[in-house]
Structure 1
Amino acid sequence: MLSGFVERRIVTSGAEIHACVGGNGPPLLLLHGFPQCHAMWHRVAPELARRFTVVATDLRGYGRSERLPGDPQHANHSKRAMAQDQVEVMRALGHERFFVAGHDRGARVTHRMALDHSDRVLRAAVIDIVPTVEVFERLDQAMATAYYHWFFLIQPGGLPEHLIGLDAAFYLRRALGSIGSGGANAGVFDDAALAEYLRAFRDPAAVHCMCEDYRAAATIDLVHDREDRAAGRKLACPLLALWGQASVVGRSYDDVAAIWRAYAPNLTAAALPGGHFLPEESPQETVEALVGFFTG
C-alpha cells in the first residue's frame, strides 16, 4: 500500500511491531486507528515522505504487528504500553526525538506518548478525537449512539469477539460506515486498503486485541488520564488537533479547540472538510495541515 516504503519488523520490550519506512528528512511517526492499520496512510504518507522520514506502524494487536493476550487489568493494551512500543521502534530506527501524528486510536496513543515521553516527542498531531476521559465524562444519548462500538467492544466474556467473528467482513464495513461520514461503499476507501483491514479482521486474535484496546480505554487508560489531570500535567510540546467538519467529533462538541486547550496550552486547531477518516477522505487538506504544522 505504501509504494517506495521498506517494511521492517522491530522487536520492542513489549511486542514485535510492523513498520513501513520511507522518505528523507526529520522523522515523523504515523499511528493509525480502528478498525484499520498502517495502510490508512496510503494517500498521505508518500506526500509526507517528500519532506520527512516517515514511519507508519501497526499498533500492537493491529494489522501485521504481534497479537498479545488480554489480561485482567487490560494493561497489555493500555495506551501507555502502546506508546512505549512506538518510542522503542523509533529508537531502533535511530530516531531519539521525532514528530508524531495519530488518527483515532493512534491519536490516543499519541496523546499518551506526548505525556509519558515529553523528551522524545517534538511536536504531536491528533486527528478527530477529544481526550478519552472527556468522551466518557461528556457522554449523552446522541454520543452513545454514535459511539456505540465503544460500549459493544468492551463487553466481557468474548461476546464482541464471537459476534464479529460470525461475519468479519460485514462488521468491518459497518464500522467504517457508521464511524465515518461516507462509508465503505461511498468510494472513500481504496479496495486494497479494505483488503488489508479485512486481513486482520479475519484473525480472531486481532479482533480480541482490538476489543482489549477499547477495554483498556474504559479502565486503565482512564486511571492514567485522571491521575495526570489531578496532577495538572499538560502537554509540553506543541499540539495540532484536526477534526472532520462532518465527523461525530465535529458535530457533537461545541468547541473542540477549547476542550484540547485544557490539555495542551500550545495548541493549533482546525476543522477540515470531511468526516472521521480525514487521511482517506481529505488527503490533500490533511497533508497540508500536517506539513504546515511540522515545518512551522
Structure 2
Amino acid sequence: MFAGFVKQQRHVNGVDISYRIGGSGPGLLLLHGHPQTHVIWHKVAEQLAEHFTVVAADLRGYGDSGKPPASDDSSHYCKREMAGDGVELMQALGFERFNLLAHDRGARVAHRLALDHPQAVLRLILLDIAPTLAMYRQTNEAFARAYWHWFFLIRPAPLPESLIEADPELYLRSVMGSRSAGLKPFTDEALGEYLRCLKLPGTARSICEDYRASAAIDLDHDRADLAAGHHLQVPLLVLWGQDGTVGRCFEPLHEWQQVALDVRGKALPCGHYVAEEAPEQLLGEVLAFLR
C-alpha cells in the first residue's frame, strides 16, 4: 500500500500528527473516518499522487497520531482543534492553501476547517455525511439503529471505552461489518492496520471523546455559525453512497445547500465506505472536480 509514499510525523497545534506523503504538485489533504486511519485511502492515494502532493493524515486520537487527554468538555477533541491540526500540518509542509478530501469523522473536521480557515482551502470534497447539526436534529429510529455507535460512544466514561478495550476486534467488526457491504470492501492488510491502531493505548478513550465533542461543543460551534449566517465559502462537492444510511435517512445535497454557497453532489454506487467500496468512481469525481 502507498507505493512511493513516506510515513512521517509532525508536532503541530500541540499534538503529534502521523501522516503519509507522496506525489508532487498542489497540496491535497486526506482525512479519514471512524474507526479507521489514513489507510482508508490506500486504493486511491497512488493515483491522486500523480496529480497532487497527497498528505494522508491520522486524525488526533486515531492511528499513530497523538492522543491528548480527556477534558470535562471534550474540547481537546472538538472539530475546531482537529481542524487546526490539519491547517498547521499543511502549513508546516509548505502549503498555505490546499485541496481537502475527507470521509466520515474526517469530513466533519474538514467542514469545520473550511469554516474557520476559508483562506486555506481551495476546494473541498466531503464523503457520506450531512452536517452534524442537521443529523442530530433529524435523528429518527432508522438512523439511530444504523448509527447506534453515535449514541453508545457519547455515554459517560469509562463505560464505552472499557467495552471497546475489552474486545477491540469485536467492536471494529461490529461497526464496519454492519454496513451495507459488510466486510467485503476491506483488504486483510487494511483491516489489520485498523485493528492494530484501535488496540493502541488511549485510542478507545480518544474515539469516545471525538464523539462526545460532536454531541456537545461541536454543536455549540455549529449553532453559533448558523445564528451568525456563516456559510461555507469554498467550492464544495458532496458524495454519498446510494446504499448507505446517510442517503436513506437524509437529503445530503439539500442539507449542504443550507450551509454552503457553492455546492454540488451526487450518490455513488456503494455504501458508507466510499474510498474502499468504489475507488474508481470516487477518483473520477474527485479528479474532475479538483481539475
TM exceeding 0.5: yes
- Aligned with residue 236 of structure 2, among 235, 239, 254: 239
Query: Secondary structure of the equivalent of 2:43?
Result: coil
Deviation at 1:2, TM superposition (A): 1.4
Question: Structure 2 length normalisation: TM-score?
Answer: 0.98
CA distance in 2, matches of 1:193, 1:68: 25
1:119 alignment partner, SS class: helix
**Partner Cα separation in structure 2 for residue 30 and residue 244 of structure 1:** 18
Q: Which residue of 2 aligns with 1:265?
A: 261
Distance, in Å, in 2 between the alignment partners of 1:62 and 1:6 is: 19
Following the alignment from structure 1 to structure 2, what is the Cα–Cα distance between the partners of residues 204 and 156? Answer: 19
Partner SS state of residue 240, structure 1: strand
1:5-26 residue CA offsets vs partner (Å, 9 max, x unmatched): 0111111122110010001121
Distance 1:112 1:171 in 2: 28
Shift of 1:211: 0.6
1:57-115 CA-partner distances (Å, limit 9, x unpaired): 00001001001111001110000000000100000100000000110000000000000
- In the alignment, which residue of structure 1 is the partner of 2:100? 100
The match for 1:89 is 89
Superposition deviation, residue 244 in structure 1: 0.2
Alpha-carbon distance in structure 1 between the residues aligned to 2:30 and 2:81 = 17
Q: Check if 1:285 corresponds to 2:284.
A: no
Shift of 1:157: 2.3
Give the unaligned 5+ runs of structure 1: none
Amino acid at match of 1:275: G
Identity across matched positions, percent? 49
**Is residue 133–residue 222 contact of structure 1 (8 Å, CA) maintained in 2?**
yes
d(CA) in 2 for partners of 1:25 and 1:157? 44
Distance 1:108 1:65 in 2: 18
**Counterpart position of 2:173:** 173
CA distance in 2, matches of 1:291, 1:147: 30
Q: 1:8 maps to what in 2? A: 8
Retained in 2: the 8 A contact 1:14–1:81? no
Q: What is the deviation of 1:203?
A: 2.1
1:214 corresponds to: 211
1:36 aligns with 2:48: no
Corresponding position of 2:223: 226
In structure 2, how many angstroms separate the alpha carbons of the residues matched to 1:136 and 1:288? 31
RMSD: 0.8
User: Which 5+ residue runs of structure 2 have no aligned equivalent?
Assistant: none
Given that 1:161 and 1:204 are in contact with CA atoms closer than 8 Å, whether structure 2 keeps it comes out as no
State the TM-score, normalized to the length of structure 1: 0.97
Over residues 13-57 of structure 1, what are the superposed CA-to-partner deviations in whole Å (9 max), with x where a residue is unaligned? 221100100011211000000010000100011111111110000
Amino acid at match of 1:15: V
Number of residue equivalences = 291
